[in-house]
Amino acid sequence: MSKRTPAYWKGTNVVLDVGWGDNGKGKFVDIGSQYADLVVRWAGGPNAGHTINNEFGEFKFHLMPSGIFNSLCVLGDTVIIDPDILIGEIDELNLRGFPINESNLLISADASLIFDWHKRRDVLSEAARGGKMIGTTGRGIGPTYADRTDRTGLKIHHLYEPDFEKRLMREFVWQTRMTKLMEGKTHIGNLSREDFEGISPHAFNQMVRKSIGNGPYDFEKMYDRLTIARERLEPMVKNVFPIIQKVHRDGGNLLGEGAQGALLDLDLGTTPYVTSSHPTMAGFSIATGINANEVRNVYGVTRAYGARVGEGPFPTELEDETGEYIRKVGKEYGTTTGRPRRCGWFDAIITKYSVRVSGATKVALTKLDVLDELDEIKICIGYKVDGQRYDADTLPTIKPRFLYRAKPIYETMPGWEQKTSEVRSFGDLPLKAQKYALRIEDLLSTPIKFVSVGPEREATIVR
């Protein structure tokens, strides 16, 4: 590393999101990775969307770690991988003059693979919910994690094992039968394991169609794509655990990169409107074997206002001109889906909960500049549910059964009505903007370390 490392990026640190995702953690990973020996992404799959703005241009990543421009990066065991999407991102970076190879990207041999059937099952499951959809991205994330939990499915290392073709054939038949049952088709034929011996992908494809019928998948095309992926990714596939542990134990600078947000955690989030992994510090520990007491800083990233994409409760949502104004100025559209994000005021109650359960020790406050032209700004400091008031210390749950009934209690603060995007020190922010940030810090009982006033690296104030 050519740059002198600031104290707050030394050792092992983690960047995660303390909201419903999309709060700008990719920017802070990009910044912190300038000083890192290793960046480890530990959660999610191509349902994530990280936008990076740096000297190389603007990039929108789904699987590629945000630290790829500065450091050796790892896709950890608990990330799930769609090889087509990953190779597409590798090709884009190659075309834009930034070659990707084993010198800057490593892929865990134990990461699970997303297949066409996972995406199909995702769509079918969502459709079956009728009016109670959970708002998935349709990228096959939930079904892939479900297979992983069920100890089925294929992982990266299976691509390189001698029996890969037979494994894939068995999986193909089983998943085709499952999909047909989900589609309500009961006649699904019969193929035994013995049928897979010594048969070409083309012949197998024809046999499946004859036995099971015209299913939603084409084995031959899938096999060809995987053959390309196997060759392209092989130099980068490693057993990454000892690599991660060595950097950490040797006192190197290791940066954990989260995906999604803590409020989307499978267990601690607003279930069922959540993701299928653990975007919290606990998830980082599961993926790396590094415990919370071994991490120097956990930076929790949150906007200066509220936003959420997809379904689920959102107590401070604004369905008026102010909400539309925030969406327009903040360019609030999902990186992965393109869906308009729901926007609202900053919710100090649920964010304090998230700071606690995510393990965040410091806060990065983003998009303060989006609020520059508002004459007044509100912060949710409590909820009223069935006539009873709750604050962050008396919050009983964040599950929908409670949050859908929660009416926000607001504190109103004056807007600063001044441009902040060129400001580079906290003391140079308008006084009212400083007071707003400090009020959030007080309500979260957690120090604000960074304030972002634009998407660029340099538009970041360090306190």
Provide the 8-state DSSP code for 114: P
In whole angstroms, give the CA distance from residue 207 to residue 199. Answer: 10
Q: What is the pLDDT of residues 12-42, one digit of tens each?
A: 999 999 999 999 999 999 999 999 999 999 9
In whole angstroms, give the CA distance from residue 167 to residue 266. Answer: 29
In whole angstroms, give the CA distance from residue 378 to residue 31. Answer: 30
SS (H, E, C) 47-101: CCCEEEEECCEEEEECCCCCCCCCCEEEECCCCEECHHHHHHHHHHHHHCCCCCC
Which burial class, exposed, middle or buried, applies to 85 when counting CB atoms under 10 A from its CB (0-12, 13-18, 19+)?
middle
What's the one-letter identity of residue 44? G
CA 275 vs. chain centroid, Å, equals: 9
Write down the pLDDT at residue 188: 64
Write down the pLDDT at residue 182: 77
Which segments of the chain have a pLDDT < 50?
Answer: 1
In whole angstroms, give the CA distance from residue 360 to residue 462. Answer: 17
433-442 — which CB contacts under 8 Å span 24+ positions?
433/368, 436/304, 436/368, 436/371, 436/377, 436/379, 437/304, 437/365, 437/368, 439/379, 439/411, 439/413, 440/304, 440/346, 440/348, 440/363, 440/365, 440/379, 441/363
Instruction: Return the active site residues.
Output: 22, 50
Taking the CA atoms of residue 309, residue 68, residue 462 and residue 289 in that order, the dihedral angle to the nearest 10 degrees is 80
Structure-block tokens of residue 159: 């691509």
Which helix (H) or strand (E) segment holds residue 200: the answer is: none
| Angle, alpha carbons 190-118-156 (nearest 5°) | 95
Write down the pLDDT at residue 1: 47
Please give the C-alpha separations between residue 161 and each of 224, 239, 316, 391, in angstroms, as whole numbers. 16, 15, 51, 55
Write down the pLDDT at residue 131: 57
SS3 452: strand
In whole angstroms, give the CA distance from residue 285 to residue 294. Answer: 10
Closest CA to 453 of 462, 445, 444: 462
Closest CA to 308 of 354, 253, 369, 377: 354
Write down the pLDDT at residue 53: 85
pTM of the predicted protein model: 0.91
Q: Are residues 219 and 209 in contact, defined by beta-carbon separation less than 8 angstroms?
A: no
N residues, the chain: 463
Helix intervals (H) in 150-254: 164-182, 201-212, 219-233, 241-249
Name the pairing type of β-strands 80-81 and 12-17: unpaired
Please give the C-alpha separations between residue 230 and each of 90, 132, 226, 359, in angstroms, as whole numbers. 14, 39, 6, 37
* Other beta carbons less than 10 A from residue 200's beta carbon: 11
Q: What is the pLDDT of residues 254-289, one digit of tens each?
A: 999 999 999 999 999 999 999 999 999 999 999 999
In order of their start, the domains of the chain are 9-104+239-462 (3.90.170.10), 112-235 (1.10.300.10)
